[in-house]
Amino acid sequence: MDLGIRGRKAIVCASSQGLGKGCAQALAEAGASVVVNGRNRDALEAAAHEIRRSSGVEVTAVCADVSTQQGQDALLEACPAPDILVNNNGGPAFRDFRELDRQALLDGLTTNMVTPIELIQRVIDGMAARRFGRIVNITSVSVKMPLAGLDLSSGARAGLTAFVAGIARSVADKNVTINNLLPGSFETARLSSAFRAAAKRSGLTEAEIAERSRKAIPARRFGTPAEFGHTCAFLCSVHAGYLTSQNILLDGGDYPSAF
Ligand SMILES: NC(=O)c1ccc[n+]([C@@H]2O[C@H](COP(=O)([O-])OP(=O)(O)OC[C@H]3O[C@@H](n4cnc5c(N)ncnc54)[C@H](OP(=O)(O)O)[C@@H]3O)[C@@H](O)[C@H]2O)c1
């Protein structure tokens, strides 16, 4: 399917590996030029090179912390008038909520709620004026199904979800959409680190934890960054212009609900 976004410009935050990289790769395959981002320069340059070589589109690497003002300035300097914004960032470490002091709480909110809102503030009016905009926030299944130890992630991302629900309605008539993609368990470095932490707590091996998790998913497998990226690219396509303010769960059937 031609997604109709050839020549469009995309900023994909936190995209040197994992889900963000999957989104950048799929958007590039659809013909959009992409700005990729991460803090580790070597990993970022390697990802940019790989996406550039496989897609042939313009790929710009912005090595910066997206949670900072300077990082956001650098992203918008590289792409001042984006048609597509994929908001992504690292997630908080697994921690009992009793251990979260005020600074940790504020940092978590900054990472997973304030940062995407700040970027939306900076791009949305330009998108509305140009009558095309696609914003996708990578959140988490934890918005719907709290995971003990990731309470800060659940809270900050649920806050983001509520915040953008109103905004999405205010720009729907300008062909600007805002949607959230909720990953369940995807094969990324973050998932491996979660298994390592769970192994430490439980006394099981990392492989045992992974196998137990895999078996508990109705699809009996973890998702791949590529399939996550292709769903994101569809949400950014011309075909998804009537789809806004939705929470799209990608979890292999894990969340047990009819709706
Ligand atoms: N994988 C899953 O199963 C899953 C499930 C639910 C939710 N999520 C959430 O989805 C998001 C992506 O997860 P993932 O699995 O793709 O993680 P990942 O494999 O660890 O990749 C994270 C990416 O974000 C970049 N990054 C992190 N902090 C950054 C910052 N401050 N500024 C710029 N770039 C930054 C990392 O590069 P640098 O470290 O070099 O900056 C890396 O490219 C996370 O918020 C995670 O909590 C993931």
Distance 173 CA to ligand 1 centre (A): 32
Instruction: Give dist(CA 110, CA 183) in Å, integer.
Output: 20
CB of 138 shorter than 6 A to ligand 1: yes
Protein residue with least CA distance to atom 19, ligand 1:
18
Q: Give the model confidence (pLDDT) of 6-64 as tens digits.
A: 999 999 999 999 999 999 999 999 999 999 999 999 999 999 999 999 999 999 999 99
Whole-Å CA distances, 198 to 69, 192, 212 = 34, 10, 11
Hey, how many other C-beta atoms are within 10 angstroms of the C-beta on 101? 8
Give residue 93's pLDDT band: very low, low, confident or very high (50, 70, 90). Answer: confident
- Output the pLDDT for position 124: 98
Q: Which atom of ligand 1 is nearest to the CA of 189?
A: 19
DSSP conformation letters of 57-82: S-EEEEES-TTSHHHHHHHHHH-SS-
CA 183-253-246 angle, to 5 degrees, is 50
CB of 185 shorter than 6 A to ligand 1: yes
- Output the pLDDT for position 46: 98
CB of 183 shorter than 6 A to ligand 1: yes
CB of 251 shorter than 6 A to ligand 1: no
Beta bridge partners of 136: 86, 179
Distance 129 CA to ligand 1 centre (A): 31
What's the chain's average pLDDT?
A: 97
CB of 65 shorter than 6 A to ligand 1: yes
Amino acid letter at 213? S
CA 114-115-119 angle, to 5 degrees, is 115
Q: Give the model confidence (pLDDT) of 111-170 as tens digits.
A: 999 999 999 999 999 999 999 999 999 999 999 998 889 999 999 999 999 999 999 999
